[in-house]
Amino acid sequence: MYNEALDLFKKLQLFPYLRPDSYTYPCVLKAFGGLANVNEGKKIHTHLVKSGLGFDVVVASALVGLYAKCNQFDSATKLFDEMPERDVASWNNVISCYYQSGKSEKVLELFEEMKSSGFEPDSVTFTTIFSACARLLDLNRGKEIHEDLIRSGLELDGFISSALVDMYGKCGCPEMARGVFEQIPKKGVVSWNAMIAGYGLNGDIDSCLELFRRMNNERVTTTSTTISTLLIACSRSARLQEGKFLHGYIIRNGIQIDTFISSSLIDLYFKCGSVSMAEWVFRSTPRTNVVSWNVMISGYVMLGSYFEALRIFNDLDFAGVKPDAITFTSILPACSQLAALELGKDIHRSVMDFKLETNEIVMAALLDMYAKCGAVDEARKIFDRLPERDFVSWTSMITAYGSHGQASEALELFRKMEFSKAKPDRVTFLAVISACSHGGLVDEGCYYFNQMRDKYGIQPTIEHYSCLIDLLGRAGRLREAYGILCNTLNIRADVGLLSTLFSACKMHGDLELGEEIARILIEKEPDDPSTYIVLSNMYASFGKWIEVRKVRLKMKELGLKKSPGCSWIEVDKKIHPFFVEDKSHPNAEMIYECLADLIRHMEEDEQKLHT
């Protein structure tokens, strides 16, 4: 009852002979912290410094707690560092500060410092420490601290036990989590939720549901966190039937569908391919919170429905809902995939309007968007402005240069990356070898392929071999590429690699090898029309019309048809898609007339060249 406490404090100040003391101020500061009223709390802080009470360990500890609750972490840690005397509460407050600001490594450092200073950690300390281990996925450190805790004889209350269950679950040890869980004499809903979440993270949906039934049997009241955790588990395992059962449970028991539940339901239906149900949930629940909108946008992007994602993004603006960092990072990949540069630039302006230029994840998404839309210079400007560059941002920029034919720039950037804190990974090398492929740098590509294995100890995957095959194929070194395919056990039967080399055979006119690869591809995937089409075109380029006819007849006999091509163009920030022989566009007649004029002009120009 924070407001009532502060009203009493104001009345107390009306009595000059009654002075607040070191017992009064911690309560007052706690009330301001509970109300997140840091400005009034600062006024009290000033008064305490002037009166000398600021040096009292209990008062100072309460001040640290105030700043921590108001997210003023720098002020809280600075005050803690200046305290001449500390108690367990002040240590707990500053440890909590670092945990809340995402500095879990620092949390563990302070924990060791606290113990070496002669202070005994309490329940609050251990709860935060185990949560930090969970966030870092540091199982070994968590186990050590758990063993120390048992040796200390401190009772494992509900808070510590729940944190332990959460830690073991997140670190991939559900059985250890279950061992701690079963030893809790009176299990609170937080413990149940942590145990369900642990099984969910490890893909054991059956154990999640078993615990849920047990909860109901033991009459433990479920919360929205319980339901959303179960739905997330179903979503992660793509278990639609179990998810529908939970949806029915929500409806039958009249459980209010809040933001957590609705967003979890939408995510479940998207991940299980039931788009109509996801849309129904979205329409039938309040749409005032940005979370549901974000899940809809990311769901459409995940399915490749980029136009729908853009429609939802536009509707969000009309609904008066304020987008956040996740909204922008969700919608930018849609612009990337559609190469909708103007729309991407509009979103960039919105990012700036919402003061998100310092958000590393948003800026990385912007970099990726500019790169994939061909605006390499814009991507580089974003890259140069990043306060910290992780391997993702380095890789995105290398990919941008490589995919737009700037192989030298890509390799120069990679060399700089090698001297940075961010070390290259599999994806980085994929980008480097791909850049060499697009730039025709065959020897360099082979060199980096070997460097990946020999220097960095990264074993090449199918994707790396695909890049190498493409690199050699583009350079016309077809037999060398085929030799790698035949002699590498784990890739020799890969259809994708064979298709890559098959296309290279067509490009360089190697009919003999092309026919050999085509036979293997047809044997492996007889219903794939692309092999027949490439083979037919290859025969046509050599004037072998009888063979062309045979391939076409075989396709007809098997009932194979080429999938219709699709292209699109961005005009006035609007995307216009077109399929082959598509006349559904409202301006189709005018478009086809324009195309006919262009073809006529091209034919006339060609005739002039010949004459």
Q: What is the pLDDT of residue 483?
A: 86
Q: What is the pLDDT of residue 573?
A: 60
Q: What is the pLDDT of residue 490?
A: 60
Among residues 154, 150, 152, the alpha carbon closest in space to that of 179 is found at 150
Q: How confident is the model at residue 607 (pLDDT cuts 50, 70, 90)?
A: confident
Convert the pLDDT of each residue in 62-108 to its tens digit.
Answer: 888 888 888 787 888 788 877 878 888 888 888 888 888 788 998 99
Same domain, 537 and 553: yes
Residue 296 to residue 284: CA distance in whole angstroms: 13
Q: What is the pLDDT of residue 492?
A: 63
Convert the pLDDT of each residue in 302-340 to its tens digit.
Answer: 999 999 999 999 999 889 899 999 999 999 999 999 988
The answer to whether residue 395 scores a pLDDT higher than 60 is yes
448: in domain: yes
C-alpha distances out from residue 287 to 225, 250, 315, 463, Å = 19, 19, 11, 41
Q: How confident is the model at residue 572 (pLDDT cuts 50, 70, 90)?
A: low
Same domain, 515 and 557: yes
Same domain, 400 and 447: yes
Residue-by-residue DSSP string for 33-100:
HHTT-HHHHHHHHHHHHHHTGGGSHHHHHHHHHHHHHTT-HHHHHHHHHH-SS--HHHHHHHHHHHHH
Contact (CB, 8 A) for 235 and 264: yes
Among residues 413, 465, 399, 468, the alpha carbon closest in space to that of 437 is found at 468
Convert the pLDDT of each residue in 267-281 to its tens digit.
Answer: 999 999 999 999 999
Among residues 600, 596, 574, the alpha carbon closest in space to that of 585 is found at 574
The answer to whether residue 489 scores a pLDDT higher than 60 is no
C-alpha distances out from residue 85 to 59, 89, 121, 124, 500, Å = 11, 12, 17, 20, 70
The answer to whether residue 582 scores a pLDDT higher than 90 is no
The answer to whether residue 133 scores a pLDDT higher than 70 is yes
Same domain, 454 and 511: no
250: in domain: no
Residue 265 to residue 281: CA distance in whole angstroms: 7
Residue 352, SS3? helix
Q: What is the pLDDT of residue 502?
A: 86
Residue 184 to residue 179: CA distance in whole angstroms: 9
Same domain, 473 and 547: yes
Q: Give the mean pLDDT of the chain.
A: 88
Last residue of a domain, one of 418, 441, 460: 460
Residue 357 to residue 360: CA distance in whole angstroms: 8
**What contacts 132, CB < 8 A, 6 or more positions away?**
99, 104, 107, 108
C-alpha distances out from residue 303 to 267, 273, 296, 599, Å = 12, 8, 11, 36
Q: How confident is the model at residue 231 (pLDDT cuts 50, 70, 90)?
A: very high
The answer to whether residue 569 scores a pLDDT higher than 80 is no
Mean pLDDT value of segment 358-374? 89
Q: How confident is the model at residue 564 (pLDDT cuts 50, 70, 90)?
A: low
Residue 507 to residue 66: CA distance in whole angstroms: 70
Domain with 500 in it: what CATH number?
1.25.40.10
Q: What is the pLDDT of residue 601?
A: 85
Helices (H) and strands (E) in the chain, counts: 34, 2
Same domain, 504 and 536: yes
The answer to whether residue 494 scores a pLDDT higher than 80 is no
Q: What is the pLDDT of residue 444?
A: 93
Residue 451 to residue 429: CA distance in whole angstroms: 9
Token pair of 311 as six digits: 């429609």
Q: What is the pLDDT of residue 375?
A: 92
The answer to whether residue 537 scores a pLDDT higher than 80 is yes
551: in domain: yes
Convert the pLDDT of each residue in 180-202 to its tens digit.
Answer: 999 998 899 999 999 999 999 98
Same domain, 555 and 571: no
**What contacts 529, CB < 8 A, 6 or more positions away?**
555, 560, 561, 562, 563
Residue 485 to residue 251: CA distance in whole angstroms: 56
Phi, psi of 577, rounded to the nearest 5 degrees: -90, 150
Largest CA distance in the chain: 112
Convert the pLDDT of each residue in 438-467 to its tens digit.
Answer: 888 999 999 999 999 898 899 988 889 888
Q: How confident is the model at residue 491 (pLDDT cuts 50, 70, 90)?
A: low
Residue 564 CA from chain centroid, whole number: 32
In angstroms, how far is the first alpha carbon of the chain from the final one? Answer: 94
- H or E element at residue 579: strand 574-579
Question: In total, how many domains does the chain have?
Answer: 3
Mean pLDDT value of segment 4-28? 89
598: containing domain: 566-610
Residue 308 to residue 518: CA distance in whole angstroms: 38
- Regarding predicted confidence, which is higher, 483 or 262? 262
453: in domain: yes
253: in domain: no
Contact (CB, 8 A) for 154 and 123: yes
Q: What is the pLDDT of residue 523?
A: 83
- Regarding predicted confidence, which is higher, 167 or 571? 167
Task: Map 370-419 to HEC letters.
Answer: HHHCCCHHHHHHHHHHCCCCCHHHHHHHHHHHHHCCCHHHHHHHHHHHHC
Same domain, 596 and 515: no
447: in domain: yes
282: in domain: no
Same domain, 477 and 557: yes
Strand partners, 569: 576
Nearest 10 degrees: CA dihedral of 387, 389, 393, 397? 90
593: in domain: yes
* pLDDT over 90 percentage in the chain: 44
Contact (CB, 8 A) for 379 and 347: no
Residue 5, SS3? helix
Same domain, 449 and 434: yes
Q: What is the pLDDT of residue 413?
A: 94
Last residue of a domain, one of 460, 481, 513: 460
Q: How confident is the model at residue 212 (pLDDT cuts 50, 70, 90)?
A: very high
Residue 584 to residue 344: CA distance in whole angstroms: 26
Q: How confident is the model at residue 589 (pLDDT cuts 50, 70, 90)?
A: confident
